């Protein structure tokens, strides 16, 4: 399996366009840009699937040689999009795929319903392209072209703010366990992870790489950065400081992604990165590739 990390920032990216905090200013000066969370995977390097569709998708696709169109004039190797959540930073990019002949979208019932209702992507996009709207049931493996098997893993029930009126029950947040039937390589992708344990813990068994929620380093990071704000846990993101030890014990390569612009780990020279290195964990970078 080939994996390309197209973007590694949380919603808003790094730097955030309207943020003049010290961290965003530093990133702006250093040109240390992180685009919003998105991954591309392939089992055969011909059929590619996107994990989430970030608002930066057009630029991310253009920067990825594997995802270039051809050989036909309008042929694309992008076969579909698997959504972890219905959050705007994971779904706005769907609209950027409207030029495609067909767009196949995989998501749980809760996620697909949100995109048919309060954020009506289905209706809007369906006027431009042929949509294959594909519900995914948690815990039930399904196959993708190119030799990949995928299982959605239920990890949370946090609704997007725009869907506050939608039912609070449902698989609003999932991780994906993706295995390559040829190599046996397993990727677990969990950019929004409120807690360890349960089905998520089971999903990491035998994984070679876990690309996981690194939104915040500390639980009180928002308060540290801005003097106010909810904790990471309250926002549905287990902080790195609370997941590092257990995740690295799984034996998988651990890469933290979906970094918020308040996260000190954004900076390549951050002393906080030494703690990660001591555990053998890494900060994911835009454009990074893995072979599993």
Binding site for ligand MLT (CB under 6 A): 10-11, 87, 89, 161, 192, 235-236
Nearer to ligand MLT, 173 or 276 (CB): 173
Q: Which does 235 bind (CB under 5 to 8 A by kind): Zn ion, ligand MLT, Mn ion, none?
A: ligand MLT
Q: Which does 57 bind (CB under 5 to 8 A by kind): ligand MLT, Mn ion, Zn ion, none?
A: none
Task: For the CB of residue 13, give the shortest distance to Zn ion in the complex, in Å.
Answer: 10
Three-state secondary structure call for residue 236: coil
Does residue 33 touch Zn ion according to CB under 5 A? no
Among 24, 81, 144, 153, binds Zn ion (CB under 5 A): 24
How is residue 269 written in tokens?
Answer: 């020279």
Rounded CA separation 117/164 (Å): 12
Rounded CA separation 51/57 (Å): 11
Does residue 55 touch Mn ion according to CB under 5 A? no
Query: Distances from the Cα of 63 to the Cαs of 5, 35, 66, 273, in angstroms?
Result: 11, 12, 9, 27
Among 89, 213, 282, 286, binds Mn ion (CB under 5 A): 89
Task: For the CB of residue 181, give the shortest distance to ligand MLT in the complex, in Å.
Answer: 31
How is residue 288 written in tokens?
Answer: 């990074």
First and final C-alpha spacing in the chain = 5
Largest CA distance in the chain: 54
Restricting to residues 135-194, name those near Mn ion by CB under 5 A.
none
Q: DSSP assignment, residue 277?
A: H
How is residue 153 written in tokens?
Answer: 């893993």
Task: For the CB of residue 54, give the shortest distance to ligand MLT in the complex, in Å.
Answer: 10
Task: For the CB of residue 204, give the shortest distance to Mn ion in the complex, in Å.
Answer: 21
Report DSSP letters for 89-141, one per residue. HHHGGGGGGTTSSEEEEEE-HHHHHHTTTTS-HHHHHHTTSEEEEEE--TT--
Task: For the CB of residue 6, give the shortest distance to Zn ion in the complex, in Å.
Answer: 22
How is residue 98 written in tokens?
Answer: 């409207």
Query: Distances from the Cα of 98 to the Cαs of 29, 81, 132, 269, in angstroms?
Result: 34, 13, 13, 39
Does residue 11 touch Mn ion according to CB under 5 A? yes
Task: For the CB of residue 235, give the shortest distance to ligand MLT in the complex, in Å.
Answer: 5
Taking CB under 5 A as the rule, which mask of x and - marks residues 229-268 in contact with Zn ion? --------------------------------x-------
- Per CB under 5 A, residues contacting Zn ion are 19, 21, 24, 261
- Per CB under 5 A, residues contacting Mn ion are 10-11, 87, 89
């Amino acid at each position: 399996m080939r994996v390309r990390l197209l973007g590694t920032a949380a919603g808003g990216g790094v730097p955030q366009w309207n943020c003049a905090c010290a961290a965003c200013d530093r990133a702006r000066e250093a040109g240390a840009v992180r685009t919003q969370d998105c991954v591309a995977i392939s089992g055969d390097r011909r059929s590619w699937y996107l994990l989430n569709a970030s608002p930066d998708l057009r630029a991310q696709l253009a920067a990825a040689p594997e995802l270039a169109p051809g050989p036909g004039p309008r042929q694309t190797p992008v076969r579909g999009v698997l959504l972890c959540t219905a959050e705007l930073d994971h779904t706005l990019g769907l609209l950027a795929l409207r030029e495609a002949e067909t767009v196949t979208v995989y998501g749980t019932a809760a996620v697909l319903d949100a995109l048919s209702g309060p954020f009506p992507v289905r209706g809007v996009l369906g006027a431009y392209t042929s949509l294959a709207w594909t519900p995914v049931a948690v815990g039930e493996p399904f196959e993708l072209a190119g030799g990949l098997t995928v299982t959605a893993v239920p990890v949370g029930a946090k609704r997007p703010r725009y869907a506050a009126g939608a039912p609070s029950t449902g698989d609003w947040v999932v991780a994906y366990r993706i295995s390559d039937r040829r190599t046996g390589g397993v990727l677990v992708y969990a950019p929004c992870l409120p807690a360890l344990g349960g089905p998520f813990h089971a999903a990491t068994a035998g994984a070679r790489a876990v690309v996981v929620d690194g939104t915040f380093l500390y639980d009180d990071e928002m308060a540290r950065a801005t003097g106010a704000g909810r904790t990471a846990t309250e926002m549905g993101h287990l902080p790195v400081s609370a997941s590092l030890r257990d995740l690295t014990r799984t034996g998988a390569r651990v890469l933290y992604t979906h970094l918020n612009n308040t996260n000190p780990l954004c900076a390549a020279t951050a002393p906080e990165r030494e703690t990660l290195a001591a555990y053998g964990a890494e900060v994911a970078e835009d454009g990074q590739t893995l072979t599993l």
